Structures are given as C-alpha cells and as structure tokens.
Amino acid sequence: SVHLEPDQSVRVPDGWRHVERVDGSEDVILTFALKQQRVDKLKNLVDQVSDPRSQQYGHYLSLAELSDLVGPSEETLGTVRNWLEKHGIWDCLTVLTGDFLQCRTQARNAEKLLPGAQFHRYVKGDLSVVRSGTPYSVSPQVAPHIDFVGGLHRFPSHRKVLNSTAAAG
Amino acid sequence: FHLGVTPTVLRQRYNLSASDIGRHPNNSQGCAQFLEQYFHPADLSEFMYLFGRGFSHHSEVDHVVGEQGGGRAGLEASLDVEYIMSTGANISTWVFSNPGRHESQEPFLQWMILLSNMSSVPWVHTISYGDDEDTLSVAFMQRINVEFLKAASRGLTILFASGDDGAGCREVVKAKNVFRPSFPASSPYVTTVGGTSFKNPFQVTREVTDYISGGGFSNVFPMPQYQVSAVSKYLQSTEKLPPESYYNRSGRAYPDVAALSDNYWVVINRVPVPWVSGTSASTPVFGGIIALINDHRLQKGLPTLGFLNPALYALKGDGLSDVTEGCHLSCIDDIVLGQGFCATPSWDPVTGWGTPNFPELLKALLR
C-alpha cells in the first residue's frame, strides 16, 4: 500500500486528551481529495486573470466553467468509486467541481479501506474529534487518483486573538 | 486622543470618510469561523450602536452559512464580524460557521469544500486560521493551494492572518533553531495580512511593527514571480538579516500587507472588551477595505479585484503607508536573541507593503 501523506504529523497537539478507541460500528466521515485535471492550465489562467497588465485581467470563470476545467477524469472517478464500493462504501456525496468525495462509513470499514489507520476519540474542553493516531495508506491502484484523505490526522486549529480578559467598567 | 482601536479610529487612520461605504447591490464580503466560534447578533448591534456612529453601516449579518450554535459568543467571531463591517461598511456580509458537523471532519477543509459547492459566494473572504507548515503534509498544502487557485479563477479575494508569533521558532535538533512559517499564510495564492500598532498607543499617529506580526519565508512554496523583485530588493538592501540557516530565502515571502492589530475594542456577550490584539484583528479590517474597493469597481462596471497580489506588487507600495520601524519576534536563542525580521522602507517580511491609505489605494486599484 501507498502512504499519501508520509510527512503528515500524527502527534496529538497540546491541549487534546485521548479518550478511547472508537468502536468499530461508529460512523466516520472520510474526505477524498480526488486528483484534478489541467491544474497547470488553471495556474496559467489565474496568472492571466489576476495580472492587471494582461488582456485577460478580470475575465473570471463561473463555477461550471471551473468544474469543466479541473474536474477529475472518468478514470479517476471510476477507479475510486469501484474501490469504495468493493469495501461496501456507498454513502458518498460529491461537490459541484467533482473533485472532493465525502463518504460516511463504519470505523471498521474505514480501517480496512485505509490500512494503518486506527480511529480514536480526543477531547479538548467541550470539543471532541475522531482522528487516527497512526498513518494511513491506500492501495497502489487508487493512489494515483487521490491527493489525500481528510478526516484522519489534522486536528482543528485556528488563530486565537490575544487579549486581556478584563472587561470595561 | 483615544483609548483603543474602534471603527472611528480605523476609519480616521485609513482615511475613510463618512461617504466611503458600500453601495453596490451585488457586492459582498465574508469571514469564516472554525471550532464552534459564534457571534451574537445582539453584540454586533450593540457594537455598532456604541462605536459605529458617523458612517452608514449594517447592524446585521445578511447570511450565516452553517449552524450558529447557542451559548456564549466567541471573541474571535465577534471581532471578525464587528470589524469587517466597520471598514467594509454598508456591504452585505456573510459568516461561514464551520464547526465540522461530524467529529471526524476537518473544519478548515469543510470550508474549502463549501466554496467548491456554492456558485454564489462573497467576493472577499477573511480567515484567521493557520497551522505550522511543518505539521502538515506537503500533499495537503499543495492541494489546498490549488483550492485557492480555484477561488482566484472565480474572482474571489482570500485574505489570511499572518499569525501572532512573528517569524516563529522550531528546534530542529538540540540547540539548533529555525524560523517556523505558517500555512495558509505562506500560500502564494492568498493575500496575507500582518499587524501594526500606533507609534503612540493613545493617538492616531503613524504605525510601527506589532512585534507579534507573523512573517517569513515558506519552506514548501517557491517564491512566486509577482514578488521576486520586491523580496530580492529587501534581501539585498537590508543590512542586518537573521542568519540564512534560519529561513528559506527562495520561498514564498509573507505578509503582503498589514493593518492595525493592537488594542481593539470588541463587544462580546453584551460587554465591551478592550485590549484585543492579533493579526486576527488586522485581517478583517483590510478585507473590509478591499470589499469597499470592489464596490467602486462594480459601480464602474469593472470586475472584482480577485487574487490581489499581482496587482498589489505591481503598485510597489502605491496606495499604502509604508511601515519602516520595528522588528518581530522569533527564536529566543544566543544567535538571534528573539529577533526575527525588521521593517524597512518598501516591502518587508513583517508588515509587507504597509497599511492602507484608502483614497490612494482606491485610485491605484481603479486605474
């Protein structure tokens, strides 16, 4: 099998506490970032539409035109769907650009689909997340068709404003 | 004289007159929240009542995408909404609330996916989210970068806070440190906003570097063509730079611009709170100003600004007030002694090209 994100940190960030291994029957949602087409063309197009010196400046795409440009190939869609269905995963949603697939399945199914993954629950204050503490992999047949699988490693993070807690009188 | 940053202070400093407000019906701006951060409409209303005098503005958000939870309001969410609507006054405002509906979802990724699934979204987005580059996989960052390209191709402007840790610091091996860039601030296809403070904290004076202002050079993304000249000039002409072993001179350099990030007033849970700081504050302020410029462009039948950086770097600082004083923080070790990069005339990796001077920036971006 192939590791799509060998350099992704699996360290649990400060403040998060491990609670339990997730029961195999619990649902998880996996996000598959499907390989897009013509990304180089998209880059050239953005360079043109964003450069005030270009004749194409401001000639933006509609979402439908963007979908036609970068949407995944039939081969990618077919290979990934076959792979998911072989593992009994049918409950999937896509987006208008067709390049993300979000699928709901049981944790035990997800662990079979993504060898190496093991789902655990972590909490921080009122927040609770399910993540894998170990790296996942995918079969070599689908690896060329997926950029990464979301919902396994990255913990929620955001910038916090810096402030004094004092309130005005 | 003032006791902290309010909409009036910002509008005075950035030369926004009472008539500098949004007017075009198709204009819009938005901010995204993660981690179950919510704002209260009552706080926004009170904020505008207390601080929003002297200019026309909305006191309500037009669209909330996602669920607004109950309970107490979050400081971050309240700050974003209150200030994007202060500079981007009278402009239709959206709030994207992305807690991650399921425990296994990634809130930031959910927001990105949402953009790919909505044919109508605001023209300007401000986001105060970031992770250290070295904690994320290159595959993830490269793909998110393509998502920013997708947004740029649609004419959307995406602004990210540059972070609150200066150049950052990471110990690679024992006693050997390097600076620590932040993503998505380091993406070449977003506009990154750094932070400043008033030279005199109680007067509307010129601005100096806010020492927390995030900035530096990406270890993942090479320097894009639009900034090569500006960054090369900085690297060649600055006398005192940190040792080269601390950063990647050929990486995407950020921030691109800056705005005040220190000593804000925010109304949260019906209480006015002073001394709120961070680039989370400067980002919605700059975003509102870009939305105002979009408004003028739309009124003239011109397209929106979209991905801003090529136009911004072509201006070479025109329309922005250069910040030339102060340094930001970095590794506390014997070599750099806690100091990262310093502001200089023209572009620098602490405050970018500087802070907005609205009438001049408008003129430059309408040309």
Q: pLDDT tens digits for B116-174?
A: 999 999 999 999 989 999 999 999 999 999 999 999 999 999 999 999 999 999 999 98
pLDDT one-digit tens code per residue, B273-305:
999 999 999 999 999 999 999 999 999 999 999
To 5 degrees, how large is the angle CA A59–CA A64–CA A70?
85
Longest dimension (CA), chain A: 64
Residue B106 annotated to the active site: no
DSSP-derived letter for residue A160 is -
What is the Cα Rg of chain B in Å?
19
Residue B63: predicted pLDDT: 95
Whether the predicted pLDDT of A160 surpasses 80: no
pLDDT one-digit tens code per residue, B250-265:
999 999 999 999 999 9
d(CA B178, nearest CA chain A) in Å: 18
Higher pLDDT, residue A92 or A127: A92
Residue B78 annotated to the active site: no
| CA-to-CA dists, residue B177 to A74, B173, B182, B255, angstroms | 47, 7, 16, 22
The edge-to-edge listing of strands for the beta sheet with B264-268 is A162-163, B271-277, B264-268
Do the Cβ atoms of B102 and A42 come within 8 Å?
no
For residue A2, the SS3 value is: strand
pLDDT one-digit tens code per residue, B303-320:
999 999 999 999 999 999
CA distance B291 to B131: 26
CA distance B123 to B132: 27
Residue A126: predicted pLDDT: 83
Residue B302: predicted pLDDT: 97
Do the Cβ atoms of B273 and A163 come within 8 Å?
yes
Q: Which residues of A touch B31 (CB under 8 A)?
A: none
Whether the predicted pLDDT of B71 surpasses 90: no
Q: Say if residues B103 and A129 touch (Cβ distance below 8 Å).
A: yes
Q: Which of residues 8 through 47 in chain A touch B, CB cutoff 8 A?
A: 8-9, 11, 27-31, 33, 36, 39, 42-43, 45-47
Q: Which of residues 47 through 106 in chain A touch B, CB cutoff 8 A?
A: 47, 49-53, 57-64, 66, 69-70, 95-97, 99-100, 102
Percent helix, percent strand, percent coil in chain A, to nearest 5: 25, 25, 50
Q: Say if residues B263 and B5 touch (Cβ distance below 8 Å).
A: yes
Do the Cβ atoms of B102 and A46 come within 8 Å?
no
Residue A166: predicted pLDDT: 47
pLDDT one-digit tens code per residue, B215-224:
999 999 999 9
Whether the predicted pLDDT of B88 surpasses 50: yes
Residue B122: predicted pLDDT: 98
ipTM of the complex: 0.96
CA distance A145 to A80: 7
Residue B68: predicted pLDDT: 78
Catalytic residue among B280, B282, B321, B330: B280
To 5 degrees, how large is the angle CA A156–CA A157–CA A162?
145
Q: What is the mean pLDDT of chain A?
A: 94
